[in-house]
Amino acid sequence: MALAHDLIDRYPPNASDPAGIPAVVRTGVTELVHDISDDLLVTLAHDPEHLRIIRGLSLRSYIIVPLTAKGIVLGTLTLVQAESGRRYSQDDVPFAEEFARLAAIAVDNARLFENESEARARAEASEQSFRTFVDNLPELAWMALPDGYIDFYNRRWYAFTGTTLEEMQGWGWEKVHDPAYLPQVTERWKHSIATGEPFEMEFPLIGANGEPRWFLTRVNPLRGASGTIERWFGTNTDITDIRSARALAEEMALQSEEAAAQLLELRAQKDRAERRVAELEARIKTEP
């Protein structure tokens, strides 16, 4: 066996060889050599040293059968007779081909399993790296299964709400919602799950300190190659200060209008008073 490996290392098969393994891989047809002649060894040898070695193996007969799965030749099964003196015949071919067929299925399954394992490992690594990214977002973020069951929240979510995954997973998030807004949020979220439409809404969430803060919540479906929703990805952006600034600007505008109206009224009162004073002064001057 060691000699055979050494031979292959030193004299790798040439794809254009007229017989042997390369020919069977090329054609996909079993090759039976009942009696290995010295002429054949001369034909197959790459150089005199090679010929010397293969002559030393005392090869008598061989069958090379293609390992074929789903129409693709994966390799070959080579059966060789040497010291025993026995020779293969056409009667041995069906057994060898059946054996090769079963071996090819096993090899193909192993390749499929390996490919699937690699794909799964790549998908898990990709998911892990995405979760690491999401975990470090400055916003509150989370991921849900296609049916809306939330199975991941990032660190900012837990920091703000003071909750745990056990409390929040699935539909546990309802606990950190203001009951006044919850029915509308739930209705619209269920609508998105049913239709696949993105979700966008502003609503308050209750913080760990018991105080609500307003968030702009956006949820988008993450679709697979076939277009089906594989996950939902949601973010909650704190807009409390933006809302406060907006409300403050509106209040200031309102108050400015009130102040302007009050100033106008005061000026009118002042004008009326000045006119009255002028009238009185004029009357005093004209009266004897």
Partner 1 sequence: MSEPPNSDSEFYQLALTKMTRVLGAERARRLIGEVLADLGIELSTADDLALFAAALTKLGGFEGAVGAMLSVSAVMKGASVRVPSAALG
Question: Is 252 an interacting residue with respect to partner 1 (CB under 8 A)?
Answer: yes
Report the nearest approach of partner 1 to the CB of residue 155 (Å): 25
Q: Which stretch binds partner 1 (CB under 8 A): 116-124, 156-164, 256-264, 270-278?
A: 256-264
Question: Is 237 an interacting residue with respect to partner 1 (CB under 8 A)?
Answer: no
Question: Which member of 72, 102, 247, 273 binds partner 1 (CB under 8 A)?
Answer: 247
Residue whose entry in the numeric block shows the structure tokens 């002429």: 39
**Do the beta carbons of residue 36 and residue 19 sit within 8 Å?**
no
Question: Which member of 78, 186, 220, 240 binds partner 1 (CB under 8 A)?
Answer: 240
What is the CB neighbour count within 10 angstroms for residue 227? 8
Taking alpha carbons only, the member of 60, 65, 59 closest to residue 93 is: 65
- According to DSSP, residue 172 is labeled G
Question: Which member of 244, 276, 278, 279 binds partner 1 (CB under 8 A)?
Answer: 244
Across 237-268, b (16+ Cβ under 10 Å) vs e yields bbbeeeeeeeeeeeeeeeeeeeeeeeeeeeee
Q: Which stretch binds partner 1 (CB under 8 A): 60-68, 96-104, 184-192, 257-265?
A: 257-265
Question: Is 211 an interacting residue with respect to partner 1 (CB under 8 A)?
Answer: yes
Report the nearest approach of partner 1 to the CB of residue 258 (Å): 7
H or E element that contains 235: strand 229-238
Question: Is 260 an interacting residue with respect to partner 1 (CB under 8 A)?
Answer: no
Cα–Cα distance list, 166 to 34, 140, 163, 189, 234 (Å):
71, 17, 8, 21, 19
Task: List the strands of the sheet with 61-69, edge to edge.
Answer: 31-33, 61-69, 72-81
Beta-bridge mates of residue 114: none
Question: Which member of 49, 116, 250, 279 binds partner 1 (CB under 8 A)?
Answer: 250
Q: Which stretch binds partner 1 (CB under 8 A): 19-27, 136-144, 230-238, 254-262?
A: 254-262
Question: Which member of 175, 255, 276, 281 binds partner 1 (CB under 8 A)?
Answer: 255
Cβ-based neighbours of 233, under 8 Å, separated by 6 or more: 134, 141, 142, 143, 219, 220, 222
Question: Which member of 212, 220, 231, 239 binds partner 1 (CB under 8 A)?
Answer: 212
Question: Is 251 an interacting residue with respect to partner 1 (CB under 8 A)?
Answer: yes
Residues that bind partner 1 (CB under 8 A): 204, 210-212, 214, 240-241, 244-245, 247-248, 250-252, 255, 258-259, 262
